[in-house]
Amino acid sequence: MTARTHTMRYTRFTRLLPLLLLALVWSGCDGFTDLAPISQRNVEEYYDQARDFEVALNGAYSTLQSDGTYGRNYWILFEMRSDNTDPGPDVTGLARALAVINDFEEPTTSEDILNAWSASYQGIERANVILDRLDTFDGEQSFEDEIRGEALFIRSLLYYNLAVAFGRIQLKLEPTPPSDPGASAQQDLQVDDASVVFEQLATDLETAQGLLPATRGSEAVHQATRGAANALLGKVYLSLGQNGEARTALERVVAGGNYALVEDYADLWGPGNENNAESIFEVQFTAGGVGEGSRFTNTFAPASRYVLPSGATLEGEGLAENRPTEAMLAAYANDDERFDASMATTYTDAQTGQEDARYIRKYESQPFTNLDAENNWPVFRYADVLLMLAEAVGGNGTISDGRSGWDLLDEVRDRAGLAPVTQDDFYPRLLAERRVELAFENHRWADLKRFDAQHGVPIESAFDEDGVTPSRLLFPIPQREVDVAGLEQN
C-alpha cells in the first residue's frame, strides 16, 4: 500500500470534522485562554460510542497538520530561529515577519508566534476533552487504553514544542469549561516553567508507552505507537538532564526491533519513501485539492519557477522562505552522502535558465497544485533515537548490547559514507552530527538549547559566524495572551 493510500484513509476521517466540531472540541482559533464551545450541543451525549472517540481522536491528530504547528510555524520556530536556515534573500514587505524571527527581533504581536501558540493549544484542548470523556465511557478496556495513550501522546508532543519555544506556559490537563458570560475577560492564569511541564510529560508518556501498540497496520499509519511515545519520552528526559531515564526509554525503542536505519539516506525522502522502516512517527499529508496537502515543496524551493531534478517544472511557485544558511552548507563534510538528499546550492530557473541559490531538497516532489503536495513531516526517526541514546550514555558509557556512545554516533555516520570520528570532545561532535543528520526536521533549536543547558556546549557559539548572539532563548508570549489572560511576558 502506498503512502498516498495510507493518508487517504486519514483524510476521510478529517473531512468529517466540520460536522463534528460542534461536539468534540472547544474553539481554539482564538487562543487558549478564551476557549469556549462553538455550539450548545450537549457534549455529554456525544461521547457514548467508540466511534465518537475515534473521530474525536482524528480531530486531535489533524491539529498536527495545521499551519500553526507542523504545517508551517514549527519550522519557523525551530529551524529558522536556529543557525540552520534563514528567510531567504527577500527581507522586506511580507517577508519581514520571518526575517525578524530569524534575527531575534520579533514583536510580541507576531502573527506567526500567536498562530503557533493557538494551534498548539487547540490540539491540547481536543486531547483534554478526549481524556476527560474517557473517564465516564463504558467501553472495552483495551479500546479505552489505546485511545488514552494516543491522546496523551498528542498532548505531550504539543506541550513539548510549546515548552521548548516559550519556556513558561500554561500547563492545563483538563478541558476548558464553557465561558461564563458574566466573568471578567481578565483571568490571571498560572504559568509553569518548562521543567515542570517536562516532568508532567514524563509521567504522561510513561503511561502512554505502556498503553500503545508496538506497531500499526497500514490503515493506521498516522497513529502513534509505543516507539513514538518512547522516542518523545527520551527527548523529554534528556531535556530534564535525566540521562538514565532517557536511556531506559530509548532502549525500549531499540529492543522492540520494529525500526532500522534505511540503507541509503536518499531513500528517506519523497512521497514514495514515506512511512519507511526508519520512520517512528510522521505527520501525514495528502495532496489532491482536499485541503490535506503540505506546502513544504513550494515553500522551500527557490524563488521563481523551478525545474525539479526529474526535469519537470515545479507546479506553482517557489517561495524561498526557508533557505539553508552558509553555516549549514559548511557543516557537511565534502564526502557526506547526506548533502545531496538534504540541500543543494543551485537550481535552474525555468524562465531564464539561470542557476543560483541554496535550497532544501528533503521535501521535493511534484505538488498537485501550488502549496498542495504529498510530503509528510518526519517527527521521529530511528537515527534520532540512536543519537539520543549516544547523548544519554555519553562517549564512554554503553547501552545494553555493549555499544558505546561513540559506536552509536559512528553507526549513523557509516550510513552517510563517513569514517569514524576522532574520539574527543564528545558532546560538541554529537551536536554537529545531529545537525547534519536531522537538518530541516525541526530539531536544531531544541538541540542547541539542550546541549547548552545539559552538556556545556554554548549556544552562542552557533551564531558567532553570523554575528548574531541570541538576545533571548524564549519566544515572547503572544501579546494577546498577556493582555487578556494576564500572563507575565518572557
pLDDT digits (tens, 9 = 90+) for 322-365: 999 999 999 999 999 999 999 999 887 777 777 778 999 999 99
pLDDT recorded at residue 466 = 53
CA-to-CA dists, residue 431 to 22, 148, 160, 295, 462, angstroms = 46, 34, 20, 29, 11
Strands 323-324 and 85-86: antiparallel
The model's pTM is 0.90
Tell me if 424 is assigned to some domain.
no
Domain annotation covers residue 375 = no
Residue 41 counted as domain residue: yes
- In the beta sheet, which residues pair with residue 307? 313
Residue 29 to residues 37, 47, 117, Cα–Cα distance (Å): 12, 23, 10
CATH number, domain with residue 87 = 1.25.40.390
pLDDT beneath 50: ranges in the chain: 1-41, 181-188, 467
pLDDT confidence of residue 465? 53
Q: pLDDT at position 167, please? A: 94
Largest CA distance in the chain: 68
What confidence tens digit (pLDDT) does each residue in 382-436 have? 999 999 999 999 999 999 999 999 999 999 999 999 999 999 999 999 999 999 9
Query: Is the separation of the CB atoms in 131 and 204 below 8 Å?
Result: no
Query: Which pLDDT does position 302 carry in this prediction?
Result: 87
Phi, psi of 377 (to 5 degrees): -110, 125
The residues, any chain, with a CB within 8 Å of residue 362's CB and separated by 6 or more, are: 269, 341, 342, 343, 439, 440, 441
Which run of H or of E encompasses 85? strand 85-86
> In this predicted structure, what is the pLDDT of residue 43?
55
Smallest CA-to-CA distance from 71 within 1, 136, 120 is with 120
Q: Does 344 map to a domain?
A: no
Domain assignment present for residue 478? The answer is yes
Residue with cell 527581507: 91
**Domain membership of residue 75 as a residue range:** 3-269+473-485
Q: How many domains does the chain have?
A: 1
